[in-house]
Amino acid sequence: MPDNAKPLILLTRPQAQAERFAAELHDRTGGEVEVLIAPLLRIEPLDLPPLPPDAALVFTSENGVRAYADAGAAAGQFAYCVGDRTRQAARDVGLQAVSAGGAANDLIALIRSHPPTGPLVHLHGRHVRGELVERLRQHGIVISGHAVYDQVALPLAAAARGALLSGQEVSVPLFSPRSAKLFAKALPDGSICRPVCISTATRAALPAPIANRASVAEAPTGAAMLNAVTRQLSP
């Protein structure tokens, strides 16, 4: 590996999110990083079920918002969103959205402190964790959940395998426990990598030898992940 080689970052997020994060990394570092995009997940929309006209929506990802909008659903409905980026995506498609500014626990606290006047509908991916719907029901909230997109697993691209076996340490941001599991399963023997995980649950999804080398962002947000990755790149 050349002494002047740029730090190498492997992004395994779905294509659109990976491209955005790559642009943010480029801006943050002044282009002093090499970014390789090799998605391990592809987002595919599912059918949107009929929604009660008085329902408020719950989104825990931008993918749910996109699936809702792509299905031609009505604008103007109220939406509770897990974070600021999801809120902005919801506002961009005409929803009246508020942000919990964090993780699932923050979203539950927001809904409990500002409960809806009608039913809630959580629009999420086929692979979902955290039991958000059940936890809200335990607090007396009327809510249903519907999968409106699938997260289809993809094989690790040959270019990514080559980078991991190049002898240069590769920084690998991981944004969910499922992504962590898929990455660990695809990781070729002899790889040199240092994961950056969005949460302790994401790190816990990695095998111990990899988890021991992983760092965790200070908060489960894109901004915190950007900070964590750039911090790891600092000498």
How much is the pTM? Answer: 0.89
Type and span of the H or E element at 184:
helix 177-186
In the numeric block, the tokens 């021991």 are attached to 212
Average pLDDT over residues 9-14: 97
The mean pLDDT value for 56-67 works out to 96
Residue 229's pLDDT band (boundaries 50, 70, 90)?
Answer: very high
The structural domains of the chain, ordered by start, are: 8-40+154-233 (3.40.50.10090), 43-151 (3.40.50.10090)
Contact 12, 172 (CB under 8 A): yes
pLDDT in tens, 139-177: 999 999 999 999 999 999 999 999 999 999 999 999 999
Handedness of CA 211, 127, 188, 229 (dihedral sign): negative
CA 202 to chain centroid, in Å, comes to 11
User: Could you tell me the maximum CA-CA distance found in the chain, to the nearest angstrom?
Assistant: 62
Share of the chain above pLDDT 70, in %: 97
pLDDT confidence tier of residue 235, bands split at 50, 70 and 90: low
How many beta carbons lie within 10 A of that of residue 40, not counting itself? 26
pLDDT of amino acid 1: 45
Q: Please give the pLDDT value at position 131.
A: 87
Contacts with 33 (C-beta within 8 Å, 6 or more apart), sequence order? 6, 7, 8, 9, 25, 26, 233
Per-residue confidence band for 4, with pLDDT thresholds at 50, 70 and 90: low
Q: Identify any residues that bridge with 130 across adjacent strands, giving them in sequence order.
A: none
pLDDT exceeding 90 applies to what percent of the chain? 86
Q: What is the pLDDT of residues 170-197, one digit of tens each?
A: 999 999 999 999 999 999 999 999 999 9
State the pLDDT confidence band at 103, using cuts at 50, 70 and 90. Answer: confident
Neighbours of 96 (CB within 10 A): 13
At 69, the pLDDT band (50, 70, 90 cuts) reads very high
Query: Residue 41: enclosing H or E segment and its boundaries?
Result: strand 41-45
The predicted structure's pLDDT at residue 55: 93
The amino acid present at 15, given as its one-letter code, is Q
Distances (CA, A) of 59 to 9, 97, 146: 29, 10, 11
Q: What is the mean pLDDT of the chain?
A: 93
